[in-house]
Amino acid sequence: MNASAKKSFVGGLLLVLLAAGGFLLLSSVYVIQEAEQAIVLQFGKLIGDPVTTPGIHFKVPFIQEVRRFDKKLIVWDGSPNQIPTLGREFISIDTTARWRIVDPLRFYNSVRDEAGAQSRLDDIIDSVVRDTISATELTEIVRSEDWEVTEEDLRQIDVVNPDSEDLSLTGETRIGRNVLTRSILEVAGKDMPTLLGIELVDVRIKRLNYIPSVREQVFQRMISERQRIAEQFRSEGQGEASRINGDTARQLATIRSEALRKAEVVRGEADAEATRVYNEAYRQNPEFYAFFRTLESYGKTLGQQTDLFIGSDSEYFRFLKHTPE
């Protein structure tokens, strides 16, 4: 082999060695981000402590394996469940929670990955939620402990839950939703760090509603209650209208009676005045007065359809036979 061929061979070998060295170097280096943590496994066993410090780290290439896990909060969303409360009202309840990995090795050994963790959380949280809700009155689930209830609120709750005896007129709540969710969090998250390497940060009731069959019954109760209130208002209005009409009728009768009384007084005074005038006229000329009054009587008694059977010498027609002197 000549010198030129030797140089080419050595150069190629050096390139191969450099490439292999670079590959080995890259395979032995891994980077942990700020929001990550990791464990290094060798043939499935932990090597050293979990890596929680961000930056560049090294491992044995091909033999050791890096498993990364999030440091961030992870959201768990449960499926809506139909659960009976202590008062036997069936409700559909939807819960959510946030959790994070605090022990990567224990987490890996117990659930392997986030999908396995979500599955375990389904079992644990759903079980605790079901036990807690079934042992609690509906009003305690809906309300917070510092919620002051008015009488209108109590009427609404009585419509929804007419058999409940846990409400006072002061609207005080013994537990409330906030305390209830804290209790769920405490019970569900008690053993998670030691068993699963997980810290359960919080649990919230995302949505709460009646199941369709019960909801229809509740709506019917609410409709009936509103109809009852409307009938009560209508009855009170009719009673008030009757009272006003009665007062109006009594006032009208009083006014009419007073008017008739005054009319009779005026009529009596007028008759008295007329009698006085007639008497005065009679005293001044009795014969003319008799003549005038007789003519008035003719106008009242004689007409086109009137037939009289009296003698010709009757006193009634004496003024027609001769005029007074």
Chain centre to alpha carbon of residue 79: 24
The two structure tokens encoding residue 244: 């006003």
Helix orientation angle between 114-134 and 104-111, rounded to the nearest 10 degrees = 80
- The answer as to whether 12 is a domain residue is no
pLDDT tens, per residue, the chain with 325 residues? 566 766 676 667 777 777 766 677 778 888 999 999 999 999 888 888 899 999 999 888 888 899 999 999 999 998 888 898 888 888 889 999 999 999 999 999 999 999 999 999 999 999 999 999 999 888 788 777 665 555 555 555 454 444 444 433 344 556 778 888 999 999 999 999 999 999 999 999 988 887 777 667 767 777 888 888 999 999 999 999 999 999 999 999 999 999 999 999 999 988 888 888 877 877 777 777 777 777 777 766 766 677 766 666 666 666 666 554 5
Task: Output phi, psi for 67, to 5 deg.
Answer: -110, 120
pLDDT number for residue 60: 86
Distance CA 164, CA 174 (A): 14
CATH code for position 136? 3.30.479.30
Residues 36 and 115 in one domain: no
Residue reference for tokens 């409330």 = 176
Task: Tokens for 59, please give them.
Answer: 């491992």
The answer to whether residue 188 is domain-embedded is yes
Residue 171 is predicted with a pLDDT of 43
Task: Identify the CA nearest to 146 among candidates 127, 170, 110.
Answer: 170
Domain extent at residue 27: 22-68
Where does the chain have alpha helices with state H? Answer: 3-28, 104-111, 114-134, 138-142, 151-160, 177-189, 192-196, 212-284, 286-301, 318-321
Give the model's pLDDT for residue 314. 66
Residue 252 forms part of a structural domain: yes
pLDDT for the residue numbered 163: 46
User: 74-77 and 64-70 as β-strands: parallel, antiparallel, unpaired?
Assistant: unpaired
User: Residue 148: how many CA atoms within 13 Å on its side-chain side?
Assistant: 1
- Domain assignment present for residue 225? The answer is yes
State the Cα torsion 253-259-261-266 to the nearest 10°. -170
Which residue, of 183, 210, 237, is where some domain finishes?
A: 210
Query: Is the pTM here over 0.85, yes or no?
Result: no
Q: Could you tell me if residue 305 is inside a domain?
A: no
- State the pLDDT at residue 44: 82
Tokens of 253: 């009768």
